[in-house]
Amino acid sequence: MTRWKTAADSLLAALRLAPPHPRRILIVGAGNIAATLRRAYAAGFPDARFAIWNRTPEAAERLAAAHPGTEVARDLEAAVGAADIVTCATMSAAPLIRGAWLRPGQHLDLIGAFRADMREADDEALRRARIFVDSRETVLDHIGELRDPLARGLIARGDIIADFYDLPAFRHAPDDLTLLKNGGGAHLDLMTARYILGAWRG
C-alpha cells in the first residue's frame, strides 16, 4: 500500500504540473518504489517512453527487462536533459540532480530523500523551480530537501507555492520548471488504509 500511495501522490502532482503530453519519463533509482512508479506513470501518460538510471546499472537492467519498452540510461546528465518528467526515488544523501541540467517545461518529482540529512536535487534546482510539496507540515521542517535550503536562506517559506491541501494552485505554464517534494509519511498510510477499509465496508 505504501508503494502505491507514494506513486499515486507523485502522479497526482505530475498530472497537474508536468507537460500534458510528455514524450520521455526518466526514473532515477531502481529500488522498491521504482517498479510502482513505472506502472503508475505509464497509466497516467500512456504514450510516454521510459528510461531508468541507477548507480548500479545491473539493477536498472533488471527493472527495464521486467517492463518491455523501457531503456536503461547510462549518462544521468544526458537522460535528465532528454526527459520531460524526472522522478527520483533513491537513498542518496548528496544531490544527484543538478539544476544546471534542467530546462523550462520539465517536471521534477523528488521522493527518496526523507531524512534531514538527505538531498536528491542541488541548490540550483531549488532556486530555479516552482516548488510544491505534498504537505507543508511534514516536509518543510523535517526533510533535508527543503529544510536545508530554507535554513540557509536559499529559499523562503513563501517560495513553496502549495501543498495537496490546495490542489487548485497546482498549475503550470508551458515554460515552468516545476518541482514536487513528495515527503510521504506513516500518517498518509493510515489515512489511505482508513479510506480502503471504509470503501470495503461500504
Provide the pLDDT for residue 189: 62
Reported for 9-12, long-range contacts at CB under 8 A and 24+ positions apart, including other chains, are 9/134, 9/164, 9/182, 9/184, 9/188, 10/37, 10/40, 10/41, 10/87, 10/109, 10/111, 10/180, 10/182, 11/40, 11/41, 11/43, 11/44, 12/164
d(CA 191, CA 46): 28
Provide the pLDDT for residue 190: 64
Strands 70-72 and 107-110: unpaired
Q: Parse the chain into domains and list their residue ranges.
A: 2-197
- CATH superfamily of the 2-197 domain: NAD(P)-binding Rossmann-like Domain (3.40.50.720)
Provide the pLDDT for residue 57: 95
- Predicted TM-score (pTM) of this structure: 0.92
d(CA 190, CA 202): 18
Q: Which three cell numbers stand for residue 103?
A: 530546462
Segment 32-43 shows an average pLDDT of: 95
Residue-wise pLDDT for 38-89, tens only, equals 999 999 999 999 999 999 999 999 999 999 999 999 999 999 999 999 999 9
